[in-house]
Amino acid sequence: MIAFKEVKSILNKHKKRDSWFLDDYSINPYEGCGFNCAYCYVHGSRYGENLAEKIVIKKDAGIILDKQLANRAKKGQYGFIAIGSATDAYMQVEEEVQLTRELLKIILTHRFPIFISTKSTLITRDIDLLKEIDKNAILPSDLQQTLKRGVIISFSISTLDELLSDQLEPGAPSPQKRLDTMRIFKQNGFLTGLNAIPLLPFISDTEEELEKMVIAAKQNYADYILAGGLTLFGNNTRDSKTLYFRFLEDQFPHLLDKYKAMYHGSVYYPSWQYQEDLKKKMETLCIKYSIRNRII
């Protein structure tokens, strides 16, 4: 089901720049997502109900964005725009609607840099447009010497296991297709890498699985690999915690008690110690395989 929604704003300004993705702004052309990943943090938010069944298209998004970016550009407030931070901007509906492509053309006009994270192969359609943005974007002054380009593209992978991916990410292209697409973008000269986010505790965050991901990133010419833990929201029937725990009951019942201990009560994310351990593992592997664990 596709619905339309009137909005007053399409561009969101962050209080501070994201330390991982370097974005100062975000844009979500759609609400809902056809990839319908069971672990998605949007499940459990006000956007999460019927995530795949109802895709919302924001009416007059291009007109609104044009005005907002013109105002920001006039003031010299350039910064990276994350496209699709709460949904995949290249999900199935984009092939027909082409709202993301329309917004990219407006971004090019106003010369803002962009960060895109996606699971989709459809993004190859816009290589021509993305090359123009990469070449013409105006960077914020503190990134001009270290980055010197206007497009960053990440491909998200939570597991390299094709069967697990089919179960957890039923609408998304396979992990191998995402790697193949990343390789295409690197061959076209883009700054690109992997978001190993979210990693699945005791499943895809083991040292063996992490090493496989780092090797896959290196073999497909990624500039970097970012790793992050799993966030699970809510206890209602359509929330990510409920959906993911249902998956565990079916496929990994022996891990259920470990997960309940990790995500007990109102705890939605792994402990600080878990995150530090994960960071150290990835740092060691990235040194071993000569790949960055950050964008710059």
Fold of the domain built from segment(s) 2-288: TIM Barrel (3.20.20)
Chain center to CA of 185:
16
CA atoms of 287 and 99, how far apart (whole Å): 40
Bridge partners of 30, per DSSP, are: 57
Per-residue model confidence as pLDDT tens digits over 31-46: 989 998 988 877 555 5
Per-residue model confidence as pLDDT tens digits over 214-240: 999 999 999 999 999 999 988 888 888
Give the H or E element holding residue 263. none
Name which of 151, 281, 128, 132 is nearest 214 in CA terms. Answer: 281
Name which of 76, 66, 62 is nearest 24 in CA terms. Answer: 76
Tokens found for residue 199: 């990693």
- Write out the chain's pLDDT in tens, 296 residues: 788 899 999 999 999 999 999 999 999 999 989 998 988 877 555 544 445 567 999 999 999 999 999 999 999 999 999 999 999 999 999 999 999 999 999 999 999 999 999 999 999 999 999 999 999 999 999 999 999 999 999 999 999 999 999 999 999 999 999 999 999 999 999 999 999 999 999 999 999 999 999 999 999 999 999 999 999 988 888 888 999 999 999 999 999 999 999 999 888 999 999 999 999 999 999 999 999 999 99
Tokens found for residue 200: 């699945």
Answer whether 124's CB lies under 8 Å from 178's CB. Answer: no
Chain center to CA of 35:
12
CA atoms of 194 and 153, how far apart (whole Å): 9
